[in-house]
Structure formats: C-alpha cells, structure tokens
C-alpha cells in the first residue's frame, strides 16, 4: 500500500502516519520527494480496509492499494485455469467454447421443450430458462417458480442438455438446487452477499452475471464471496454495463473478457442478448465475444419471440440461432478453439 501525503506536508506531520503503520505491525518506507512525500507500507497480512484507516489521517491526500483484495479468484493462488465439468461430457472453461441457449423465462411446457429441442439440434450444451424472474416492476410476469424448474428438468431428461436457472434469494437456493445443474446469479444480485454465500455452500457451479455498474474488481470480489464458502466453480458472465448510450439496452464491455483473463483463472462468458436488447445485434455481439476469447456464450432463444412473456425483443428464434452457430464455430476455430458441440449433433 502507498500513502500519498499532501504537497508540502512537513516531515514532522508525516511521522504520525509512520507511527500508525508501526502500531499495526507493518513496515513504513517513506520517500521524501520535491515537496511531496509518499510512504510505502509492507507487511503481512495487510488488513482489507487498511486504506480507509489512513485516508482519514491529517496530511494524507490519498492511499493507493497495490495488492489485490481478492485471493481465491486471482492467479496468484490458483495458477491453472479453472475447468468445470458437468457430468462426463460437458466442460466449461476448457479449450472448447460452451453455448448456453434458451428462453428468458420458462413460460409453458411446450415452449420450453420446443426451445430445448431446437437449441440442442443446433449444438447448444446447456439450456437456460428462468423460473424465478427479477422484474423491474412488481406488476410484471415473475416466473412459474418450482413448476418452471420441473419443466426444465423434463427438458433435460428429454434432450440431455444441462440446465442453468436463476436463484434470487437465499431461501430459494435449496429448491433451485434440487433441479438445476448450474446456479445463475443475476446482475441485480451480483452484490447480494448473503445469496452469494448461500450458493457458495450449495455444491454446484455458479454463474455470476456482472452487475450493471460493477467494476471488474468488484465482480471478482463477488466471485470471492462464493469461493470463500468452498465452492471453486464460478463462471463470470459479462452482460452489458450501463452507460449513456441508448441505442442498445446496455453496452457490452467486450474488453471484460481479456481483462478478466489477465486477472483471474475463472471462465468468462458473454451474454449478447441482454447487452444488445435487440435481436438484430445479438449475432454480431456473440461473434465478437468468441473472437475476444470468451469461454462461452449465453444466448436467449424463443420459439416465438413475438409471444414471449419477457425479453422477446432480444430473443433469437430457433432458425436464427441455428444459422448463427456455424458462424460461431468458424470464429472459434479462427482463434484456435472450437465449439463444444454434443457428440450426436452436427453443426
């Protein structure tokens, strides 16, 4: 940690800062420059909120933290890339790019099964579908609950697709966990820490969508909450951040892919559907995500987007999704990867 003193702070006013460092059992290394002094702080372990303790001292202009606040999510403590296996045949974070597809919401048995068959035939390996839906308005459709989970389980039984579905609150973790293969934590809940800890104890992989205005560092700290409970299987999913631009629902931060990969061993996915908010742009963003090195994609597909109870405008229909898959495969190969296609499917 580095403490930057205000310009012109005299040496005697730096001493209390140095003393405070010593009181905490750490070592201070002051560097006296022209008019400005900095104090390097070293020692182990640095308390997590150490910067706040010093920012408040007289004469201190600001404090720069050098070490990262997350440990389990970073490369230092886990030098190999995290690879997550779902049964014998589905691998997330390996060489192959994983495609998750499905409707925003599980609406009916027929809609879900039709989508499952369509995305399976096109080469997806996981089925998404919300049974518990966070909605901006209390008056909107909020999902079928456990009945939706049962439909998802049936789709899995019929197609062999693994399933991923959102859990919104700690008390639902048990029921969702009885059905799902992967827990999804939505963007709005990315800093719902008690939920993160609950899924951290639930023994199944967790996909953590990035909050709408979350710094990448904060996102990794959210992953750390899950991992600190003993669950190493976290997947990060970028789904667009909120900016001033209104032409898309959100702004896909495609840079998050290489940035996360430089900081963390966790797999990183792209959700082009929530980022775009408009069906016409989904394909381009999906291709960009794979080209940037994403380990997977999560794409909204609905058999009849114009009848969807939620997010129809950003959903591909089955033929659009099927047409996109060979392009994704080609781009994956262009960057030295491949799509993970179920063995019985040809793309």
What residues between 211 and 250 interact with a copy of itself by CB under 8 A? 212-213, 215-218, 221, 224-225, 228, 241-248
Q: ∠ CA(267), CA(209), CA(233), 5° rounding?
A: 40
Decide whether 108 or 248 has the Cβ nearer to a copy of itself.
Answer: 248
Name residues contacting a copy of itself, limited to 268-307 (CB under 8 A). 275-276, 278-281, 283-285, 287-293, 305-307
Binding to a copy of itself (CB under 8 A) within 303-322 occurs at 305-313, 315
Q: Which of 19, 89, 333, 338 binds a copy of itself (CB under 8 A)?
A: 333
**Is-cis flag, bond preceding 45, omega within 30?**
yes
Shortest distance, CB of residue 275 to a copy of itself, whole angstroms? 7
Residues 92-111 that bind a copy of itself (CB under 8 A): none
Total interface residues for a copy of itself by CB under 8 A:
109
Rounded to 10 degrees, what is the CA torsion of 133, 138, 139, 144? 30
Pick the binder of a copy of itself from 19, 76, 89, 95 (CB under 8 A). Answer: 76
Which residue, 156 or 279, has its beta carbon nearer to a copy of itself? Answer: 279
- Minimal CA–CA distance to 294: which of 257, 342, 338, 245? 257
Options 23, 88, 139, 344; binder of a copy of itself; rule CB under 8 A: 139
Task: Tell which residue, 142, 276, 275, 295, has the closest CA to residue 207.
Answer: 295
Using CB under 8 A, which of 12, 23, 44, 344 touches a copy of itself?
Answer: 44
The radius of gyration computed from the CA coordinates of the chain, to the nearest angstrom, equals 23
DSSP-derived letter for residue 218 is H
The residues in 152-211 that bind a copy of itself, with binding defined as CB under 8 A, are 168-171, 188-189, 191-195, 197
d(CA 10, CA 27): 20
User: Which strand (E) or helix (H) includes residue 81?
Assistant: none
Phi, psi angles (nearest 5°) of residue 103: -75, 160
Closer to a copy of itself at the Cβ: 159 or 329?
329
Phi, psi of 100 (to 5 degrees): -105, 135
Q: Interface with a copy of itself includes 22 (CB under 8 A)?
A: no
């Amino acid at each position: 940690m580095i403490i930057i003193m205000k310009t012109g702070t005299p040496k005697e006013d730096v001493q209390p800062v140095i003393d405070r460092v010593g009181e905490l059992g750490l070592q201070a290394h002051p560097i006296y420059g022209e008019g400005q002094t900095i104090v390097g702080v070293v020692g182990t372990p640095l308390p997590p909120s150490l910067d706040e303790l010093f920012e408040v001292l007289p004469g201190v202009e600001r404090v720069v933290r050098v070490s990262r606040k997350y440990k389990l999510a970073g490369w230092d403590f886990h030098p190999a890339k995290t690879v997550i296996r779902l049964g014998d045949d589905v691998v997330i974070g390996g060489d192959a790019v994983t495609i998750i597809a499905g409707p925003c919401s599980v609406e009916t048995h027929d809609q879900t099964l039709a989508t499952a068959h369509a995305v399976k035939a096109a080469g997806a390996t996981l089925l998404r579908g919300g049974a518990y839906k966070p909605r901006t308005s209390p008056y909107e459709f909020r999902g079928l609950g456990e009945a939706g989970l049962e439909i998802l389980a049936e789709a899995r039984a019929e197609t062999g697709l693994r399933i991923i579905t959102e859990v919104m609150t700690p008390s639902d973790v048990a029921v969702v966990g009885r059905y799902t293969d992967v827990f999804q934590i939505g963007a709005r809940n990315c800093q719902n820490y008690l939920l993160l800890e609950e899924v951290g104890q639930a023994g199944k992989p967790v996909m953590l969508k990035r909050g709408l205005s979350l710094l990448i560092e904060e996102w990794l700290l959210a992953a750390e909450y899950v991992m600190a409970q003993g669950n190493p299987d976290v997947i990060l999913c970028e789904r667009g951040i909120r900016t001033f631009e209104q032409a898309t629902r959100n702004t896909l931060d495609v840079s998050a892919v290489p940035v996360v990969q430089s900081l963390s061993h966790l797999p990183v996915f792209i959700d082009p559907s929530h980022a775009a908010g408009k069906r016409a742009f989904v394909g381009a963003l999906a291709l960009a995500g794979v080209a940037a090195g994403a380990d997977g994609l999560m794409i909204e597909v609905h058999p009849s987007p114009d009848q969807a109870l939620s997010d129809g405008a950003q959903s591909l229909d089955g033929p659009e999704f099927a047409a996109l898959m060979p392009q994704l495969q080609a781009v994956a190969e262009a960057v030295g990867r491949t799509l993970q296609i179920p063995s019985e499917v040809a793309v």
